[in-house]
Amino acid sequence: MHPSSVIMSPLPILLLRAILALISVLATSHPLVRHSYVIASSSSIGNYDRTAARGEVEALLKWKSSLKGQGRPLLPSWNATIPSCSWVGISCDSSRRIVSLNISGYDLYGTLRNFDFSSFPDMTTLVLANISLSGTIPPSIGNLSELNHLDFSQNHLSGSIPDSLGRLGSLTNLFLNENNLSGQIPSAICNLSKLSVLYLNKNQLTGSFSREIGKLESLTDLRLNKNKLSGHIPSTIGDLSKLSFLYLHKNQLSGSIPSEIGKLESLGELDLSENELSGHIPSTIGNLSKLRLLYLYANLFNGSVPREIGKLESLTVLQLLGNKLSGHIPSTISNLSKLSVLYLYENQLTGSVPSEIGKLESLIELALYDNKLSGHIPSTIGNLSKLSELYLYKNQLIGSVPSEIGKLESLTKLALYDNKLSGHIPSTIGNLSKLEVLSLFTNLFSGSLPVEMNNLTQLTNLQLGDNNFTGNLPPDVCRDGVLVNISVAFNFFTGPIPRSLKNCSTLFRVRLDYNQLTGDISDALGTYLNLYYLDLSYNELHGMLPARIGQYNNLTLLRISNNKISGALPSELENMKRLNVLDLSTNHISGGITKDLAKLKKLFELSLENNELTGSIPPEIGTILTLRNLSLSKNRLVGHIPKQLGNCIDLLSLNLSGNELHDSIPVEISNLRSLEILDLSGNSLVGEIPEQFWRLQSLETLNLSHNNLSGEISSTFNDMAGLKTVDVSYNQLEGPIPNSTAFHNASIDAVRGNKGLCGGIVGLETCPLEKEDRKLLVILLPIIAIMLLFMVTLGFWHTMIGRTKRNVEDQLVSTNGNLFAIWSYDGVIMYENIIEATEEFDSKYCIGSGAYGSVYKARLSTDQIVAVKKFHIMPDEDIVGTTEISWQKAFRSEIRALIEIRHRNIVKLYGFCSSPRHSFLVYEYLEGGNLENLLSDRETAAGFGWLERRNVARGVADALCYMHHDCSPSIIHRDISSKNILLDLEYEVHVSDFGTARFMKPDSSNCTSFAGTFGYAAPELAYTMEVNEKCDVYSFGVLTLELIMGRHPGDLISSSLSSVYHMQLKEILDQRIPYPKDEIMADLISVLDIAFSCLSYRPTMKQVSQGLSTRRSGTLDYSWEINLGELFNLRGLIL
C-alpha cells in the first residue's frame, strides 16, 4: 500500500476522539471501576485498623512482661508472630478488634498496674479471675466504655473499689468477690442502671449501705456477704423488684429488717445470717412467695416467729436458729409443704411442738433443740416419712416417746437427750433400720430396752446414760460392727456385757459404768485398736484382766474400779503408751506393782487403792512426771516411801494410807509444790515430820495419823497458810502444836493419842512457860496492857461500824421508809443528784438491763461518772405479806456481798438507796462495758487479743478464788456470765451483779431455787438444786471457752464428746483475730485445759487461779488442724 493511504482524514480522527470520550464517561460509572475505587479507599482504613490492633497487641505483651508466673512459661501463644485473635483467651470481632479477654485459672502472679485499659475501647468482656492478681484496681478501668462483663474474682486485689467503675454504663455483670478489697462500696456503682449481677462478697469492705442501692432496678443477684459492712439495711432495698438472690450474711449489719423487703416478690434466696440484726422478723416477709431459702440465723432477733411465714409455700430451707425468738412455733408453718430443712434451735421458744408439724411431709432435717419447749412429742411426727435428722434435745419435753416414731424409716439421727421424757422406749424404734445416732441420755426413761433394738445394726452412737433403765443391754448392739460410741452409764442395767461388743473393732468410746453388769471380764473384752476411752467402773464384773488389754494402743482412760476383778496386774499394761488415767481401785487385784508401769509416761492418774497388792512401791513410779493423782491406799504394800516421788512436781494428790510402809517420810516429798492432799495415815512410818513441809504451800489436807512419828511438829507449819485440815493423831509426837489456822480449827480427835502434844486445842494440855518466857512476860506485860486498851478502843469503833453495816439488812426489809447510804457523801443530797443526773431514770441513760433491774450511766455534779443499778420495784399488791419478793432478795444479797468483800477484780459499791419510790445501788463506772458486748462487737473484739483474753480469765479466777477460799463464810456468785464481767479501758476485770450471790452455811442446807444465766449454769443444778463452789467453777469454764471462741460455746458444750474430740483446734479459736504465735500458744492451750477441766472435773478455784498464774511458753509442736481429742491426749486431759 502506498504510505499515503494510511493517513486518516480529519473527520475520522474527530469521530474517534468522541468515541473515546464517551467510553471514558461510561467507565466512571461502571461497577468494576467503582469496586476498584473502594479498594483504593479502604487501604487507608486498613492501615488505621492495623495500627489499633498493633496497639492492643503491644498493650497485652507489655502487661504479660510484668507478670511473674513462678518460673513457668506464661501464655506461650501470646507472641508477636501469632495473630492476636488466635491467642489463648482472646476473642475478636469481624474487624479483628479484641472484644473479649478471658484467662481465668492461670497462676500469673501479677498486678493491673501495667494493664493499659485505654487500648481496648471495644472490649465487652474482661475476665481475669483466679490468676493470683494483687495490688489495686486502677481508676483507668473506667475507660472500658463498652464493657458489659467484668470478673476479677478469686484474686488478692486490695485497696478500694474505684469510683470510675460507675462510668461503665453498659455493665451487666460485676464480679469482684473473694479478694482483699477494703473501704466503702462507692455510691457511683449505683449509677450502673443495666447491672444485673453484683458480687462483692468475701472481701474486707466496710461502711454502711447506700440508700442509692435502690437505683439498680435491673439487679437480679446481689452478694455482699462475708465483709465488714455495718449500719442498717436501707428501706430502698425494696425497690430491687427483679432481685432473685440477696446474700448479706457474715457482716456487722444492725437494726431491723426493713418491712420493704416484702416488695421483693421475685426473691428466691435470702441470707441475712451471722449479723447483729435485731427487732422482730417483719410480717411482710410473707409476701416473698417465690422464696426457697431463708437464712436468718445467728442474729439478735426477738419476738415471735411471724405467722405470715406460713405463706412461703415455695420454701425448702428455713433457718432461724441462734436468735432470741420467743413465743410458740406458729401452726401456719404446716403450710410449708416443700420444706426440707427446719432449724429453730437455740432460741427461747415455748409451748409445745405443734401437731401440725406432721404435715411437713418433705422435711428431712428438724432441729428444735435448746429452747424451752414443753409438753409431749406429737404422734403426728410419724408422718414425716422423709425425715433423716430429728433434734429435740435440751428442752422441757415430758411424757413418753410416741410409738409412731417407728414410721420414720429414713431417720439416721435421733437426739432427745436432756429433757424430762419418761416411760419405756417403744418397740417400734426397731423399725429405724438406718438409725446411726440415738441419744436419749439425761431423761427419766425406765424399764428394759425393747428386743427390737437389736435391729438397729447401723448404730454408730448409742447414748442412754443417766436414766432408770433396767434389764439387759441389746446383745446385737454391734452386730454389723459399726458402733463407735456406747454410753449407758448411771442406769440399772444387769446381765452380761453384750456379746457383740467383743468383736466390735470400731469402738472409740465405751461407758458402761454405774450399772449392775455381771460376767467374766476376760470373756467380755475383745481387741479394740481404736478404743480411746473405756469405763466399766461400779459394776459386778469378775475375773482377771486379759493380756490383750495391752493391745489397746490408743486408750487414754481405763477405769474398772469398784468391781470384783482379781489376779495380778497384767504386764502388758506397759504397752498402753497413750494412757492418761488408770483406775483399777476397789477390786481384789493381788501381786506386786510392776515397775513397768513407769513406762506409761503420759499417765496423770494412777488409782490402785483398796486392793490386795503386796510388795514395795517401785521407785520408777517417780519417773512419771505427768502424774497428778497417785492413790495406792488400802493395800498391803511394805517397804519405804520412794524418795523419787518427789520428782512428780505436778502431783496434786498423794494417798499411800492404809498400808504397811515403814522408815521415815522422805524429805523429797516437800518438792511437790502443787500438792493439795497428802495422806500417809495408817502405816508404820517413824522419825520426825520433815520441817521442809512448809514448802507445800498448796497443801490443804494433811493426814499423818496412825503411824509412829515422833519429835516435835516444826514451827515452820505456821507458814502453811493454805492448810485447812490436819490429822496427826495416834503417833509419838510431843511439844506445842503449830500456830496455824489448820491446827487452831482442829478438834481434839486430830491430835489425840500422842506422847505429849500441847497447845490451844480444847481438850489438849496447855504448854508450860519456859524460864526465859517468864522474864519476857514481865517486860511485855505493861506493853500488852497499853496495847490491850488501844485494841478495846479500836474494837469498839469497829463494832459500831459493823453494827451500822449489819443494820443495813434489817432496815432494807422496810419498804415504807427511806434509807440512804452513799459512802463519803450526804445520802439525801447524793440521791437527789442521781435523780437529776438520770432525769428520773430516763431510758436514754440506760446502758443495760437484767431480771431484777436496769443499769444507768449518771454524771454527777462533780463530773464523776457512776453506774446506778435501779431495781424493778413491783406494785404494792405484789409485796404485801411476809414472803420477801425476788427483787428485795437480790437487793439485799448484792449489798451484803459487796459490803463484806474487797478485791481488785470485784466491782466497787459506792452506796445504795432504798425508798418506796426508788431502790438502787451506786457502783464505780467502767468504760469498757461488759464482756458480752465486747465479744459481740466484731470491730472491738478484733482488737481484744489473746493475752488480754487470758488476763481476763485470770482476773475472774482470782476474784472467785478470793470469794470461795478467803471469805468466811464462802460466797458463791451463782451467775458468772459474760454479761456480768465488766472491763475498764485496760481490760482489767471487775466481777459484778451479786444479786443471786449465796453465803455458804456449813451447818445448814444449801439447796435453793435455780439462779444463773441459761448456758452458764452447771447441768447438775437442774436436778439437785444444791449450791456450792462447783457451780461457779462450771460457769467459769464456759466463760473461759467463750473468751477463746469469741462466742458462747453452746454448740461445743452441748455436743456429744465424740464430736468434740473430732473438732480441730482451729475451729474453736476466734476467727476475728490472728492465730496466736508459738510463744503464747502454749500458754493459751493451758488455759484451754483449765476450761475443759472446769466443765468436767470441777477443780477448786484456788487450783484454777494458781494454774492461770503460771505462764507457759514453748514451741508449738502440733498443727492447727490437730483434733481436740488428740490434743487432750497430749495434754493429759480426759473428759
Single-letter residue type at 151: D
Strand pairing of 197-199 and 221-223? parallel
pLDDT at residue 1075, rounded to an integer: 79
**The residue to which cell 491426749 is assigned:** 1129
Maximum alpha-carbon separation in the chain:
185
343 near 321, Cβ under 8 Å? Answer: yes
Q: Counting every residue, how long is the chain? A: 1135
Q: Spot the catalytic one: 975, 993, 1032, 1070.
A: 975
Strands of the 374-375 sheet, one edge to the other: 374-375, 396-399, 420-423, 444-448, 468-471, 492-496, 516-520, 540-544, 564-568, 588-592, 612-614
3-class SS of residue 582: strand
Task: Please report, for residues 447, 478, 491, the alpha-carbon distance to residue 475 in angstroms, rounded to integers and kept in the order given.
Answer: 17, 8, 17
pLDDT at residue 51, rounded to an integer: 60
Flag residues of the chain having pLDDT under 50: 1-48, 771-775, 797, 800-824, 874-885, 1002-1010, 1023-1024
Task: Please report, for residues 246, 278, 298, 341, 528, the alpha-carbon distance to residue 272 in angstroms, rounded to integers and kept in the order given.
Answer: 8, 11, 9, 17, 47
In eight-state DSSP terms, residue 807 is: H
Q: Which three cell numbers stand for residue 234?
A: 436501707
CA–CA dist 233, 253 (Å, integer): 7
Q: Which three cell numbers stand for residue 1111?
A: 505462764
Q: What b/e readout covers 968-986, taking b as 16+ CB neighbours within 10 angstroms?
A: eebbbbbbbbbbbbbbeee
* Residue 1011 phi, psi dihedral angles, 5° rounding: -145, 155
CA atoms within 13 A on the CB side of 156: 10
Residue from 989, 969, 815 nearest 897 by CA? 969
Q: In this structure, what is the dihedral angle of CA atoms 911, 916, 918, 921, given to the nearest 10 degrees?
A: 20
CA–CA dist 1127, 1133 (Å, integer): 8
Q: Which three cell numbers stand for residue 243?
A: 432481685
pLDDT at residue 1129, rounded to an integer: 65
CA–CA dist 140, 59 (Å, integer): 14
- Structural element, H or E, at residue 276: strand 276-279
531 near 557, Cβ under 8 Å? Answer: no
3-class SS of residue 1055: coil
- Structural element, H or E, at residue 471: strand 468-471
496 near 474, Cβ under 8 Å? Answer: no
Task: Please report, for residues 280, 288, 357, the alpha-carbon distance to residue 310 in angstroms, rounded to integers and kept in the order given.
Answer: 16, 11, 12
CA–CA dist 817, 915 (Å, integer): 6
839 near 833, Cβ under 8 Å? Answer: no
The response to whether 870 counts as a known ligand-binding position is yes
Q: Which three cell numbers stand for residue 743?
A: 491446827
CA–CA dist 776, 770 (Å, integer): 10
**The residue to which cell 520426825 is assigned:** 688
CA–CA dist 160, 180 (Å, integer): 9
* Residue 762 phi, psi dihedral angles, 5° rounding: -60, 125
Residue from 952, 936, 942, 938 nearest 986 by CA? 952
CA–CA dist 818, 1110 (Å, integer): 49
**The residue to which cell 500458754 is assigned:** 1083
CA–CA dist 620, 203 (Å, integer): 58
**The residue to which cell 475478636 is assigned:** 92
Angle, CA 1030 vertex, CA 1024 and CA 1032 arms, to 5°: 110
**The residue to which cell 404485801 is assigned:** 880
Q: Which three cell numbers stand for residue 803?
A: 453494827
pLDDT at residue 284, rounded to an integer: 97
DSSP, residue by residue, 513-564? -SSEEEEEHHHH----SS--EEE--SSEEEEEPPGGGGG-TT--EEE--SSE
- Is-catalytic flag, 975? yes
CA–CA dist 464, 451 (Å, integer): 15
Query: At a CB cut-off of 8 Å and minimum separation 6, what does 925 contact?
Result: 857, 865, 866, 867
Task: Please report, for residues 65, 168, 805, 981, the alpha-carbon distance to residue 172 in angstroms, rounded to integers and kept in the order given.
Answer: 31, 9, 75, 51
Task: Give the relative orientation of helices 1078-1096 and 1101-1109 as an angle to the nearest 10 degrees.
Answer: 180
In eight-state DSSP terms, residue 962 is: I
